[in-house]
Structure 1
């Protein structure tokens, strides 16, 4: 009985040790990070829906998220790792520039308080870029969404492999190899759409691949670099993410993450379970405001037109106004108006002309109250 009890205890201990080692060699977060064993700092946070948000619309900030347990990369350990994660870089509005980017980081420490924002992505700084301290012995795979002038060979938004410093040892424009088309297709890092990223290191070559969410892992990586990470890695290394903002900001998310020390044990992400990142805000179309100068000019033009029309009316009225003698005020008018005479003679019709006197031509007409028709006299 005692022997059986010892055997059960030994089996339990071995089983626990096995589970512990399994936990330290791989993990996967498919349906959010609300139960994840992560250490977060800066402005990074885990949202209620499970999204891991590294940065938001705040200038000159950075956020970090690391798996709490370090991985053993001692002399007797297999120096390899494989990871697959899905991220989304959401700019403040559609078509706008955003910053500054996301980096997958393998670091000897979770303390990156010395790091700087902007082009350093919350991973490096001016000091660590030129030093050989243990804190600078880290690897970063960056998705830089901003034109980083003077930092990288590619000043456009790019994907880069960084060792010791933000100056990439290799970089490439964001794209993926289409297995269907047999050629590279570009990717817009700031589309706000989820992007899959694979980072594979087999001990000799470091491969980085990208693809949209609906596309399988490409047959050809975006970058493949021969590198010996044993010169960089310490005995204990942490894996995680970093992101930063500058004057330009973005909402930068991690939707899902799988990590393993071996390629065979890397668990597949169930893309259907991933939380969704908020879409890119669309800029509301603002009503075009009419300039004040234009309004004043229109008003002046309307006033000018009214004055011209008023002047024309006043001139015409005075031109055809009836002139009355002073005595007519007492006895009333004893004359016909020009308008009445015009109507009476049917517009001074030639057929109504009866002769010509010393003061002009004489026409026959009919009083306004009677109908008049100008007819030619047939002789």
Structure 2
């Protein structure tokens, strides 16, 4: 591996002073092929979700990262990192430099819109990378920002490609500039002539362009109206009808998300006029249609909510703001949105395999094997851990169920539908007291207090675990035409020592007994009636990753549940409003019978 040296001047031009997309990187790659399959967002256009961390990627990068991604173990939303075959940095440091006179560390903001200079040197003999950064015009600091040993002999063997890559986000976008670049092998890179570098655009350029376009649009609209009036009332009516067909609603809160707004006209044509032939499904929120955008050419799913939907403007805004900034491989990716009159539309990546609900409960389709089910369970659990603990704020989903789990082309589970989500700061609590969600998945404490917590999500996740394993709805009809609670049914089998008999019969005997036992016990543990006694999602992941012994359910717990048989005479899970008090049977573990019975009575 030969030594190399490079220096370049860059600038990141974001829309806002304190918010940006994912950043940019300088890279060295063995092959161009790895870049052809790269993804945007947190992967910076270098890697993807399958080869990230794979030795075969053979790529080295210096990332200038402006978005903190918990999944990639980022230290902050303003750091410099050294990466090899993975965007989990070998070494990372906050952006800045050491002043030569005082030795004091001076912090820099990557999204300040100001040019900065970077020096990267690799000593092929010592296998040492040295990285330094400073504001443009400041001489190269004597003390580097970062220095570490890395063997790049596997990354570059005979031929190498050197360059830059950047990625922008779905909600907040940024422009990335390389104003000057010098590169050399086996010797220091030539110094850049600062006076010859091109100038950056002014901060008002984008605003001015928008104003100009707006003025042109207003002028043309006035001309069209005047022409229509001159020609006659008949043509004027036709023009008005055409404009009315595609009219949209715009409000102040949408300003930060304007660049990700789709036109109603584009979505109308993409879905062939929201044709029934393109209908993917219907629910209480409205309908979902498959669409094909013309530019860029891609398949999308368009969620169309009507004005009388249970999800209104407030919930619509919640979904745009929350999922638009979330980054996790097991969450659906929001591409944009549109508003028109009483209609609310969200645009997502199209999931070829539809919802998990279809694969679990359709008797005509192919049976989903246990290994796929377990993989989906772990993926959804990982996404909930991210929402509850690893993101910058706490996100309570409030509607976890199989129909909200979408499957991509590799059958990976992705949690979607954030229309009921609530977001608040860590160490705070959600301020809503409105009971929302789906019958069968609602935690018993919501009927009393109505205030959602991460533990109410855990309860719904517990019901989801039982549903995936047993292939039955939370409330199902048995062979005697009786309505049965799934959690109660599983508990009875556990009490009788026949818990494995609850496994979806379509699986036959083709399942991992240890994994099934863990999931069923976790489902019972997560649906404990006392919310504070349910496990947090980090604990759940430890069980699923086999880092923790399978949970044990105490005899007192089983005794209580067997006494708490509830009758659901005349109950209709589809027609009962979610705001009504709900009688629930939940599972318990490790408490005295008296305490358990008191908790159960309060739940009922």
TM-score of the superposed pair, with normalisation by structure 2: 0.33
Tell me which residue corresponds to 2:181: 257
1:224 aligned residue (147, 158, 164): 147
Give the SS at the match of 1:231: coil
Residue matched to 1:171: 92
Q: What SS class does the counterpart of residue 171 from structure 1 fall into?
A: strand
CA distance in 2 between counterparts of 1:283 and 1:252 reads 14
Say if 1:132 and 1:226 are closer, same or farther in 2 by CA, change over 3 A: closer
Q: Is the 8 A contact 2:54 2:86 kept in 1?
A: no
After superposition, the C-alpha distances for 1:311-352 in whole angstroms (9 at most, x for unaligned) are xxxxxxxxxxxxxxxxxxxxxxxxxxxxxxxxxxxxxxxxxx
- Cα distance, 1:104 vs. partner? 0.3
1:272-287 alignment runs, 5 A limit: 272-281=195-204
Question: Does the alignment pair 1:189 with 2:113?
Answer: no
Higher helix proportion, which one?
Answer: 2
Runs of 4 or more, structure 1, over 2 Å off, are 130-133, 279-284
How far off is 1:263 after superposition? 2.8
Q: Cα distance 1:184–1:115, how it changes in 2: closer, same or farther (>3 A)? A: same
The alpha-carbon deviation at position 108 of structure 1 amounts to 1.3
Whether 2:80 is the aligned partner of 1:156: answer no
Q: 1:234-270 CA distances to partner (integer Å, 9 max, x unpaired)?
A: 2100110000111221110000000001234x21100
**How far apart, CA to CA, are the structure 1 residues paired with 2:132 and 2:73?**
19
Shift in Å, 1:233: 1.6
The corresponding residue for 2:9 is 86
The answer as to 2:151 corresponding to 1:234 is no
**Does 1:99 pair with 2:21?**
yes
CA distance in 2, matches of 1:183, 1:110: 41
Distance 1:179 1:275, change over 3 A: same
Q: How does 1:110-129 map to 2 (within 5 A)?
A: 110-111=32-33, 112-129=35-52
Q: 1:101: how far off?
A: 0.7
1:243 alignment partner in structure 2: 166
Report deviation, 1:96: 4.0
Contact preservation (8 Å) 1:92, 1:281: no
Partners of 1:269 and 1:201 in 2: how far apart? 19
Aligned position for 2:438: none
Provide the rounded CA distance (Å) in 2 between the counterparts of 1:283 and 1:125: 31
The residue correspondences of 1:1-379 to structure 2 (distance < 5 A) are 73=1, 79-93=2-16, 95-111=17-33, 112-133=35-56, 136-203=57-124, 204-247=127-170, 248-264=172-188, 266-281=189-204
Tell me, in whole angstroms, the C-alpha distance in 2 between the residues paired with 1:163 and 1:234: 15
User: Which one has the largest radius of gyration?
Assistant: 1
Distance 1:168 1:221 in 2: 17
In the alignment, the residues of structure 2 paired with residue 199 and residue 157 of structure 1 have an alpha-carbon distance, to the nearest angstrom, of 18
How far apart, in 1, do the equivalents of 2:180 and 2:117 lie? 9
SS at match of 2:50: helix
Question: Per-residue CA shift, 1:107-142, capped at 9, x if unaligned?
Answer: 112341211111111011111114332xx1010000
Which residue of 2 is the match for residue 60 of structure 1?
A: none
Determine the C-alpha separation between the residues in 2 that align with 1:125 and 1:221: 30
Q: Is the partner of 2:25 in helix, strand or coil?
A: strand
SS at match of 1:209: strand
5+ residue gaps, structure 2, are: 208-251, 253-604
Q: Aligned to 1:278, what secondary structure does the other structure show?
A: coil
Counterpart of 1:10 in structure 2 is none
Q: 2 CA distance for matches of 1:278 and 1:181?
A: 33
1:127/1:273 CA distance change after superposition, 3 Å:
same
User: Is the Cα contact below 8 Å between 1:179 and 1:218 reproduced in 2?
Assistant: yes
Cα RMSD (Å): 2.0
3-state SS, counterpart of residue 51 of structure 2: helix
Q: Offset at 1:214?
A: 1.5
Structure 1: give runs of 5+ residues left out of the alignment: 1-72, 74-78, 290-379
- Say if 1:267 and 1:130 are closer, same or farther in 2 by CA, change over 3 A: closer
* Maintained 8 Å contact 2:52/2:87: yes
Task: Label 1:149 to 1:269 Cα distance change in 2 as closer, same or farther (>3 A).
Answer: same
More strand by share: 1
